[in-house]
Structure 1
Amino acid sequence: MIVKHEINVPYRKATFGMGCFWGCDSLFGVMDGVLRTRVGYSGGTTPDPEYRNMGDHTEVIEIDYDPTKISYADLLDKFWNFHEYSLTAPIKRQYMSLILYHDEEQKQLATQSLKEEAAKSSEELITEIIPAGAFYPAEDYHQKYRLQGHSDLVDAIGLTRKLLQTSHVAARLNGYVVGLGGMEQFESDIPKLGLDDKTAEYVREQLRKNEGGMLYC
């Protein structure tokens, strides 16, 4: 089995905070056009944050995406519709609703989308929009957390510590094993990812079993 971990095409970054980062790692990783995902800490000033000592940072997901396949507006749509926690109730900074923009275009799109979402709500939205600063990757056990719960699958695809943050295959499978993406998309993905029959069947079983379930931490 030759697993196709890397996709080398021009990409852009997007960074969001939407509650616990385990769920959104699965959510975005399985979207067509998303190349890689990693979770970590950003948005604050505390140097070298860790999970048990995060300071003023927020749990975020950093996404590498192919802008010819998926737009920033598509990513924003997913951001607004899949927060783990409320968009209107105050919550501690670790889990806050946060958009970190990487350029002026992202800032404008994010600001406009916030106005549109606010117009739909009877309560004030608490989402913050700020420039993207330093991103600190979270500890290895947080990366592709759902996928790492399937040790045989992890071994089958040769997933290493580095690949937890850089592998396209890991990003996709981290969504499929929790029931995201749909069977049709997965079937079309099998040859693209380089999965053998045994590995594909295992993922297929997980997708069938978990499809339609809720993301949670």
Structure 2
Amino acid sequence: MSTTLFFRGDHTESVQIDYDPKVTSYDKLLKLFWNNHDSTACHTRQYMSAIFYHNEEQKEAAEKSKEVHQKKKMRPVVTKILKAETFYDAENYHQKYLLRNKRALLNSLGLNDKQVITSHVACRLNGYVGGYGSEDQFDEDLPKLGLSKEQEEFVRNCIDQAYPA
């Protein structure tokens, strides 16, 4: 997942999610979208609520999900459904921002900027150090992450701060 920033007056900050349909579905991603932001808040174009589709199937699914979501809201849903155009990655310092703020952990991974952007490990760690993910989820991921004991302990401390006992 990468953040995008366009440096024109008409840009919208957004994420592009490349997903494996064997692991999750577009419909599940739409549910996450609707459940994790205020779709009724009016913002400038830079911060507007939008779903960018890549094909007619995605467009139809997005429109249908918007209709279902609207029925649950008292105010109008202002989310726009737009055709995806060129996606531009944001500057490196915006990528995996939460992980980049944990400088010791980031440095210990030995990743260059391109690897930070594309690494599955960096993506998972960015979530954990930002308070997104439980200890149980981390335990399940741990064998796939290839972390040292020190790195594991650092991440566990971040999770403990987000989920105090």
Category of TM-score, reference length = shorter chain: over 0.9
Distance apart, 1:159 and its partner CA: 2.2
**Larger RCO (CA under 8 A, 6+ residues apart):** 1
**Greater strand percent: which structure?**
1
Residue pairs, 1:125-144, within 5 angstroms: 125-144=77-96
Q: CA RMSD in A?
A: 1.3
TM-score after normalising by structure 1: 0.72
Distance apart, 1:155 and its partner CA: 1.1
- Distance across 2 between alignment mates of 1:105 and 1:141: 34
2:67 maps to amino acid: K
Runs of 4+ in 1 over 4 A off after TM superposition: none
Distance apart, 1:164 and its partner CA: 2.5
Unpaired stretches in structure 1, ≥5 consecutive residues: 1-36, 42-48, 213-217
Q: What corresponds to 2:157 in structure 1?
A: 205
- Contact kept, 8 Å, 1:57 with 1:93, in 2: the verdict is yes
Unpaired stretches in structure 2, ≥5 consecutive residues: none
Q: What corresponds to 1:160 in structure 2?
A: 112
Percent of paired sites with the same residue:
46
Q: What corresponds to 1:89 in structure 2?
A: 41
Residue pairs, 1:14-25, within 5 angstroms: none
- Contact kept, 8 Å, 1:169 with 1:193, in 2: the verdict is yes
- Distance across 2 between alignment mates of 1:144 and 1:77: 23
Q: What corresponds to 2:27 in structure 1?
A: 73
Q: What corresponds to 2:15 in structure 1?
A: 61
TM-score after normalising by structure 2: 0.94
C-alpha distance after superposition, 1:17-44 (max 9, x if no partner): xxxxxxxxxxxxxxxxxxxx11003xxx
Larger radius of gyration: 2
- Distance across 1 between alignment mates of 2:31 and 2:133: 16
- Distance across 2 between alignment mates of 1:100 and 1:131: 5
Distance apart, 1:162 and its partner CA: 0.4
**Equivalent residue pairs, number:** 164
**Are 2:153 and 1:189 equivalent residues in the alignment?**
no
**Are 2:141 and 1:177 equivalent residues in the alignment?**
no
Cα distance, 1:204–1:164 mapped onto 2, change above 3 Å: same
C-alpha distance after superposition, 1:27-83 (max 9, x if no partner): xxxxxxxxxx11003xxxxxxx33xxx420100001111110111111111111111
**Greater helix percent: which structure?**
2
